[in-house]
Chains A and B, each alone.
Chain A
Amino acid sequence: MTGEQVIFLIVGAVTLIAALMVVTVRDLVHAALWLVATLFGVAIIYTLLNAGFLAVVQVVVYIGAIAILFIFAVMLTRRQAADTGAALNKNWWAGALLAVLTFTGLFFMLQSWSGFQKQAAAIPSGFDAINQLGDALTSPAGFVLPFEVASVLLLAALVGAVYLAFNKK
């Protein structure tokens, strides 16, 4: 086992445990903080995959914006941030079954893929992932249409939020 694999296993385990804590802890602010830990674990996994740019974007967008907004919303709307009552409802076994089935399905699907057992090819020197990503997102041959559609969608959401919050005099 290489050092990278050891790190991956540790990070993966921590991410999974943190994700489990998100849905099991009672305190909503604690749940949000565990969510931050989970998202951070995902960012480290991006780094292990040599996707440094995505890792940084993950931290900026998910921790810097989304998780902070979650915490804000929890603090502003509820006086008592802890939940009472049962954490699981009577459909928990169906959820667990679905999760196990999805995992097994994905596992067997990946096993039939030819690249499953192979070592990843080394990245050639001078390979600039950001340039490649930028070209792919803005070239007509690449993903310019989905990229722009997503931008328009976000803009529409922004306009809608402003319209809802706007105080008509």
Chain B
Amino acid sequence: MTFWNDPLKVAADWLTGIFTGWGMPSVGANVLVAFLGVLMLITILMVIDIFLVWIERKVVARFQDRIGPNRVGPFGLIQPFADIIKLMIKEDTTPDGADKVVYNLAPILSMMSVLILWAVVPLAPVMLGVDLNAGALFIIAAGSIGTLSIIMAGWSSNNKFSVIGAFRQVAVMISFEVPMLAVLLIPTIFSGSMGMNAIIQSQSIWFVFLSPLAALIFLIAAIAELGRAPFDLAEGESELVSGYNIEYSGMKFGMFYAGELLHAFTFGGFWSIFFFGGYRFFGLELVSPFLAIAIILFKALVGYWVIMWVKYTVMRIRIDQMLAFNWKFLTPVAFVLVMVTALMNTLLRGADSWLFITGMILSNIIVAWVSMEIVRSVSKQERERVEGVQQVAEAHH
């Protein structure tokens, strides 16, 4: 076993050797090495996060036909550092009547709920924090901590706008957790496990080819979970100023902002893990774990780019439209899709892979088509009803 095949284990063994050589008990050395590993992962993530600010600003500039940051350093690469310095030296304000402890705890919990997700992300076949056998469910659990942080921030700021923003955001997150959880059962059905590594290992055919509809629903639910456009009505600049984080200044606001960017990047990663093979790419991941990390980071960036693409192209929708869309359309479709997929998976278990793929794609297309037809007929009835009301109103005038 060399460094290039299993770098984490080699490094951990080496460090444990050093620590025990200093006379440390082996249990203590193991705990210390694990702690250092966590610290290293978080540090790398935070450094990536700094550059995500630059990526986000450059990409939004491209979508809006601008150049973006270009003054500080080559291609504006040093811009995020200037932003951070600005955030650091800003005055740290606490509003009157704020609940101080809860107010200060909220940004930390928000960042934590994102960082904790990386505990289950397999960066390479041999590099992952913990191979939890309930990995898919773990994402939802971490998301509920994020929900909690937002409601804490909104309530403790002693500001009506922030409370309304928090209510909206929490309504979005709670309702879109349902289709997300339902859709996460589909990779679970295909792979027979909820563990991330097992899901990736069983994707000799990417699950997006087996269930494109599930990939789409996961993306929509993820965007809602992130609170990004078109579901960013918690921010609603025109009506709520900035939403739940309105009172936060300096680095506390920075924590929410950085947390949001890293969250989007992380969900790009999860999208790739569940539907695009994670670190797998034509066997390249077996060459070296470092190549596998490069592959999964690249796929996560592509997912992040798609999320940004949606954010800067689609306009914001109203809260009632959003809740109706979730409860009357997305959730039923997700549940039907799970049932159909489970049934087809049982029927086609012994069939060869081409029949399996065709059957799965056909069932997806049929579910999508039927649900679109139902939506079309319902919206037609609704349009006729509204037009009828308008005609009656005009006749009365």
Contact = CB atoms under 8 A, between A and B. Distances in A.
B132 interface: yes
A53 B134 contact: yes
A67 B148 contact: yes
Contacts of B140: 60, 64
A30 B156 CA distance: 10
A89 to B, nearest CB: 28
Given A36-B148, A64-B177, A68-B151, A56 B27 contact: no
A75 B163 contact: yes
A153 interface: no
Given A68-B174, A71-B155, A59 B133 contact: no
B133 A52 contact: yes
Interface residues of A, number: 22
B287 to A, nearest CB: 29
A22 interface: no
B106 to A, nearest CB: 11
Contact of A56 (B134, B151, B167, B170): B134
Interface string B157-171: 000000100010010
Contact of A72 (B27, B134, B141, B170): B170
Contacts of A65: 144, 174
Contacts of B199: none
Nearest to A3: B27
Contacts of A29: 99, 102, 155
Interface string B46-74: 00000000000000000000000000000
A44 interface: no
A59 B102 contact: no
B239 to A, nearest CB: 19
Interface residues of B, number: 25
Contacts of A75: 155, 163, 167
A36 B113 CA distance: 14
Given A56-B141, A60-B140, A68 B170 contact: yes
B362 to A, nearest CB: 28
A35 to B, nearest CB: 11
Contact of B141 (A3, A30, A60, A71): A60
A57 interface: yes
A59 B134 contact: no
Contacts of A53: 133-134, 137
Contact of B144 (A30, A52, A60): A60
B147 A68 contact: yes
A128 interface: yes
A52 B31 CA distance: 20
B141 to A, nearest CB: 4
Interface in A1-42: 3, 29-30, 33, 36
Contacts of A33: 102, 152
A154 interface: no
Interface string B182-217: 000000000000100000000000000000000000
B178 to A, nearest CB: 10
A71 B151 contact: yes
A64 B143 CA distance: 8
A56 B195 CA distance: 13
Nearest to B27: A3
B145 interface: yes
Nearest to B28: A3
B138 interface: yes
A94 to B, nearest CB: 34
A164 to B, nearest CB: 17
Contact of A60 (B99, B137, B152, B167): B137
A33 B177 CA distance: 21
B145, B151, B174 pick with most chain A CB within 10 angstroms? B151
22 contacts: A3-B31, A29-B155, A36-B148, A52-B132, A56-B138, A57-B137, A59-B144, A63-B148, A64-B140, A64-B143, A64-B174, A65-B144, A67-B148, A68-B144, A68-B170, A71-B151, A72-B151, A72-B167, A75-B163, A128-B133, A130-B133, A130-B134
Given A3-B31, A71-B155, A72-B170, 14 more contacts: A3-B27, A29-B102, A30-B99, A30-B102, A57-B134, A59-B141, A63-B148, A64-B141, A67-B148, A68-B170, A72-B167, A75-B155, A128-B133, A129-B133
Top 3 closest A-B pairs, CB basis?
A: A64-B144, A59-B141, A53-B134
